[in-house]
Amino acid sequence: MAVAPVRANPTPRSVSILGSTGSVGCNTIALIEDRRADYVVDALTAQSNVPRLAEQARRLRPRLAVIGDPALYGALKDALAGTDIAVAAGPDAIIEAALRPAEWVMAAIVGAAGLAPTLAAVRRGAIVGLANKECLVCAGELLMREARECGAMLLPVDSEHNAIFQVFDFTQPAAVERLILTASGGPFRTMNMRQMADVTPSQAVAHPNWDMGAKISVDSATLMNKGLEVIEAHHLFGLPSERIEVLVHPQSVVHSLVAYVDGSVLAQLGAPDMRTPIAYALGWPRRIPAPSARLDLSRVAQLTFEPPDPDRFPSLGLARSALQAGGTASAVLNAANEVAVQSFLADRIGFLDIARVVAETLALCPRFAVPDLSTVLALDREARRLAESCVLGLHRPQRRRGAARAARAAQ
């Protein structure tokens, strides 16, 4: 774990938000707007949502606003005309935004696209609020090594890892026996395979407890999200896969737990509201108020836990296998999953096909032992190409829908 010396928290703290228009980005901005005197915004970035980025920039007055799609430079420039906010576009400009001297950076871009900008912030020794789990999945060893060498601080924003961070005894890591990651189980927790074969993208993104972006919502429904989080926890806290347990906990109140050698188990609890872990990272090393719903355990009444079902949710096992294979296997897993999830959201493949595409791509893609950045990025491209060919092989919407109807009729 990259634990940098605790720094004084200068007021106002200078912050940049990579992925400001997304679910985590908007929550971060809402918290900052509640405490305007404590924060000054240096840079905001988005991929294509010019109206939201421009509106955020007009309110927060960053020095720089960046849009990832170069074709949208003119639209952003026009939308910010009459302000003194600098405008830039393209993937390199997002890296430039990460390199600016903000003390604190929120890494909230979705997917492997967040890797290079996050690494840039880490290499200049920033405090990084790490929401983007995919960059640890793709290049965890590299990112953790660079964080240690460059004096960067990685603060987990994912609610499970943030929970572990709050109860992990960094003064005696050898006393930690295992980590227990909780999972809501997603919207299809109680469905059988026949029902799952026919679910739609809109059902998959309707998470029962959390309000999140589309990709992570689908990942939660397949339990790939938990697989990615096992890999993330391995890199952040240094435990092997077999000492990182997963428990399905449908109430999403216990966000994760740390079990110690003396039999003690410490947990962090709260309402399922991302503003709590984001506020923890934004204020670190101090706690700041967050307007999240308050936990009332008497209303929750029951907390239940059960093991995940490996047959209905094979993605968790695929992620564990990739972690055990080591090297670039996790980067391949991640790229294949990103392609498969996008294909499912575009209604090109069925829900159960997501894990099939990932498994086939893992079997087809070459692996390398040493994941430096250029190898990871090359493998990411190759895995996407192979995953796309798997999707094309499965892309038979008429047959898929017909098969699902037949399965329903047979029930």
Ligand X SMILES: NC(=O)c1ccc[n+]([C@@H]2O[C@H](COP(=O)([O-])OP(=O)(O)OC[C@H]3O[C@@H](n4cnc5c(N)ncnc54)[C@H](OP(=O)(O)O)[C@@H]3O)[C@@H](O)[C@H]2O)c1
Nearest-approach distance from CB 361 to ligand X, in angstroms: 20
**Segment contacting ligand X (CB under 6 A): 13-21, 33-41, 165-173, 235-243?**
13-21
Nearest one of 120, 149, 151, 124 to 135, comparing CA atoms: 120
Query: According to the binding rule CB under 6 A, does residue 110 interact with ligand X?
Result: yes
Of 68, 272, 308, 350, the residue at the interface with ligand X (CB under 6 A) is 68
Interacting residues of 283 by C-beta distance below 8 A, sequence separation 6+? 9
Nearest one of 309, 139, 160, 335 to 230, comparing CA atoms: 160
The two structure tokens encoding residue 157: 């924003």
Nearest-approach distance from CB 90 to ligand X, in angstroms: 10
Query: According to the binding rule CB under 6 A, does residue 19 interact with ligand X?
Result: yes
Tell me whether the omega of the peptide bond preceding residue 12 falls within 30 degrees of 0, making it cis: yes
Query: According to the binding rule CB under 6 A, does residue 24 interact with ligand X?
Result: yes
The site string for ligand X over 330-369 (x = CB under 6 A, - otherwise) reads ----------------------------------------
Nearest one of 162, 305, 308 to 237, comparing CA atoms: 162
Q: Which residue is nearest to ligand X (CB)?
A: 22
Of 14, 16, 23, 330, the residue at the interface with ligand X (CB under 6 A) is 23
Instruction: Give the helix/strand (H/E) hosting 200.
Output: none
Cα 385 versus chain centre, distance: 23
Query: According to the binding rule CB under 6 A, does residue 381 interact with ligand X?
Result: no
**Segment contacting ligand X (CB under 6 A): 105-113, 118-126, 141-149, 279-287?**
105-113
Judged by CB under 6 A, the chain residues 167 through 196 that form the site for ligand X are none
Of 2, 14, 15, 25, the residue at the interface with ligand X (CB under 6 A) is 25
Interacting residues of 64 by C-beta distance below 8 A, sequence separation 6+? 42, 43, 44, 85, 86, 87, 88, 96, 97, 100
Of 132, 184, 315, 342, the residue at the interface with ligand X (CB under 6 A) is 132
d(CA 376, CA 331): 7
Number of residues interacting with ligand X: please give it, by CB under 6 A.
Answer: 28
Instruction: Give the helix/strand (H/E) hosting 340.
Output: helix 329-345
Paired with 18 in beta bridges are 45, 107
The site string for ligand X over 27-66 (x = CB under 6 A, - otherwise) reads -------------------xxxx-----------------
Q: Give the binding site for ligand X (CB under 6 A).
A: 19-25, 46-49, 68, 94, 108-110, 113, 131-134, 158, 210, 212-213, 215-216, 274
